[in-house]
Structure 1
């Protein structure tokens, strides 16, 4: 089973930069998108009839938003955390027979860290939510989580220490999440792989020189680790300041851990 997650930084703009072509070529069973930046009716994507679309729009126009395109029909869909709605459109949860899929766009602490307290409180609620799901069945989490967890996850760790996305507090929240029973799939498979990033500033030559951050993730419940086949990123795919991240997982092992 192939899953893809991509912060498109405005889906309408990304469509004009090759989104549809990549979508078709990827052949993903589930394709998750963050930061759609649109409202209902502002875009029409002509896709293979095998996909069903689910959207969580932000109330604020041109802001945030998530979407999931899936070939697999979910048992249920939930929009938000505690309630079946949240104003920034940051979370979509799809329940399947053998697992939950959570597509998330984590709040940014902002450059001046003015939203750090909000971010940290949100992280606590998000972690509790994932633990509740995990108690029922395994969880696959994907999206822009707006944090480089370890120094290996960004190019200039020393210069960025304490900056938004690399504060001690944000990194500690990721550590706490993993410690509750989740696995960072890329680091699980490639613990020492450096220079592997998913986001680059729009400043000149930054992406060409690969001065980036790894802030987009696939996490899974720890008991799904044996089912992992591969995890990575399509760094050459343009259209956004983020690149798509990819997960290949053995669906049979999700459904039956004893399967060979």
Structure 2
């Protein structure tokens, strides 16, 4: 089974830059996107063979998530029962017979950290939610999580300590999750490999020089580890300021 996650930074713009070519080429069983940045009816994607599930933000041109899946889920739910979270369209959960798939676009704490308190509350709610799901069946949790967990996960870690996405508080929430029975799949396969990133600033030559951050993840319940086959970042794929990430697991 192949699962792909990609923050497309606006699906309409990404389609103009080749999204559908990549979608067909990668041939994922489940394809998750974040930052769709549209409302219902603003795009029609011809994805033959896939069920489509969208969670739109109320605010126009902002946030939003979607999941495209070959296999129809048992149930689909949206949000975390929080009105504010639901307004931003940040979470979709698909329940299958043997696992949950949770696609997330985590709120950014903002450059001035004005949204850090909200972000930390979000992390606590999401942590409880994932724990509840994991008690029922294994979880595949993916998306743009807006945090570089360790120094190896961003190029300029020395100058970014304490900045949005690399605060002690945000990194600590990720550590808590991984310590509670979840696994960062890319680091499972590549624990010490440097220069693997998933987001780059649009500033000139930044991506060419690979001055990036790894803020997109596939995190799974620890008991899924025996089924893992590969986890990687498809860094050569353009079309967004993020690149797609890919998880391959034995059929669940």
Mark yes or no: TM-score above 0.5: yes
Residue in structure 2 matched with residue 59 of structure 1 by the alignment: 58
CA offsets per residue over residues 69-117 of structure 1, 9 Å max, x none?
A: 0001100000001369811000000000000000000000000000000
SS of residue paired to 1:247: strand
SS of residue paired to 1:78: strand
Residue in structure 1 matched with residue 81 of structure 2 by the alignment: 82
Residue in structure 2 matched with residue 7 of structure 1 by the alignment: 7
Residue in structure 2 matched with residue 137 of structure 1 by the alignment: 137
**CA distance in 2: counterparts of 1:128 and 1:193, whole angstroms:** 31
Alignment map for 1:200-239 (pairs within 5 Å): 200-239=200-239
Structure 2 unaligned blocks of 5 or more = none
**CA distance in 2: counterparts of 1:82 and 1:179, whole angstroms:** 25
Aligned length: 251
What displacement does 1:37 show? Answer: 0.3
**CA distance in 1: counterparts of 2:46 and 2:105, whole angstroms:** 24
**CA distance in 2: counterparts of 1:86 and 1:198, whole angstroms:** 26
**CA distance in 2: counterparts of 1:195 and 1:233, whole angstroms:** 11
**CA distance in 2: counterparts of 1:182 and 1:56, whole angstroms:** 25
**CA distance in 2: counterparts of 1:211 and 1:47, whole angstroms:** 34
SS of residue paired to 2:241: coil
Residue in structure 1 matched with residue 38 of structure 2 by the alignment: 38
SS of residue paired to 2:173: helix
SS of residue paired to 2:219: strand
Alignment map for 1:98-113 (pairs within 5 Å): 98-113=98-113
Is 1:176 the counterpart of 2:176 in the alignment?
yes
What displacement does 1:246 show? Answer: 0.2
Alignment map for 1:190-205 (pairs within 5 Å): 190-205=190-205
TM-score in terms of structure 1 length: 0.95
SS of residue paired to 2:218: strand
What displacement does 1:180 show? Answer: 1.5
**CA distance in 2: counterparts of 1:82 and 1:89, whole angstroms:** 12
Alignment map for 1:231-250 (pairs within 5 Å): 231-250=231-250
**CA distance in 1: counterparts of 2:133 and 2:161, whole angstroms:** 33
